[in-house]
Amino acid sequence: MSDAAALSDTPGDSDASGPPDMPGPADTSGPSDTPVPFGARLADALVRRGRLCVGVDPHPFLLDRWGLADDAAGVREFGLRTVDAVAGRAGIVKPQVAFFERHGSAGYAALEQVLAAARAAGLLVIADAKRGDIGTSVEAYGRAWLTPGSPLESDAVTVAAYTGVGSLDPVVALARDHGKGLFVLAATSNPEAAGLQRAVLDDGAAGRRGGASVAAGIVADVRAAADASDAAVADLGVVIGATVRLADYGLAPHDLGELPVLAPGFGHQGAGLADIDALFGSAAPRVIAAASRSILFAGPDGIADAVARHAEAAR
């Protein structure tokens, strides 16, 4: 087990064998209906269920492998079966919105049911939507994914800050009001992004960070916006691919501070779950290790065991 347990005095209680204990619906309210901050709920999930995050990615080839049609009914069934397999074995799921969106309004209806089922099972749900814009447009994206009672309500959503981290301020405010979270793309694992994300900031508006990479600038801005000096885990986080080297982007683990790190790329994409601590150093306790195809390829009959194995490896 990793030193993630340092986030809490309560030891983990994962049981990879037998019927999983099924938590009740996620309680996001505190005293007097004040929302429990997302960071606090995430810290609890990391300690109780470990660092594994299971992607809900109904690729066409996986639907075929599962014996499901490549239509809205198929992605719905795929998503619900995945949620059933994860509940009680891991604590976090990350539906990839694009695979549902390609089926139009029926696909979105399917996604709504999957999101609701996951949250009802007590799982933290990170909607992988990668939304970004400015002003009222980005605020509308935030309201779609983070407003309590919205058909697409999730616990957190991935966002893009190509227009500047400050352009996300309306969504940051919305997330805080409702006890939700955001994960801002910073250093992604696709090779096409390296030239942009490693580019050096000039001495203009970002003068205080002149010489830093774009990725490092995003991390610094998110950390400043998080303002979570009293929290073990912040409500705002960043996306950093598990297959990138932090140093290549001018980053070190201490730069991440209290930010949670959503780290795709484990399993099929090449990063090993046993290497989380080595890859992220002092930030490792706050890493959300996302794995999708390496779990989903097990099919409907093997996915529960695959989740259990991956969850143990990520602890």
Residue-wise pLDDT for 149-176, tens only, equals 999 999 999 999 999 999 999 999 999 9
Nearest-Å Rg of the Cα atoms of the chain is 18
Counting residues of the chain whose pLDDT is more than 90, the rounded percentage is: 81
What is the chain's mean pLDDT, rounded?
89
Q: What is the pLDDT of residue 269?
A: 75
β-strand partners of 182: 157, 236
Question: For this structure, is 130 an active site residue?
Answer: yes
Can you read off the two tokens belonging to residue 163?
């227009």
Position 1 pLDDT exceeds 90: no
- Residue 231 is predicted with a pLDDT of 82
Domains and CATH numbers, the chain: 38-314 (3.20.20.70)
Q: Residues 48, 59, 65, 130: which is the catalytic one?
A: 130
Mind giving me the DSSP string for 223-267?
Answer: HHHH--TT-SS-SEEEEE-TTS-GGGGT--GGGGTT--EEEEEES
What is the token pair recorded at 53? 């995050």
Q: How far is residue 131's CA from residue 219's CA, in Å, rounded to a whole number?
A: 17
Contacts of 242 (CB under 8 A, 6+ apart): 189, 263, 264, 265, 266, 269, 271, 276, 279, 289, 290
pLDDT in tens, 289-312: 999 999 999 999 999 999 999 999
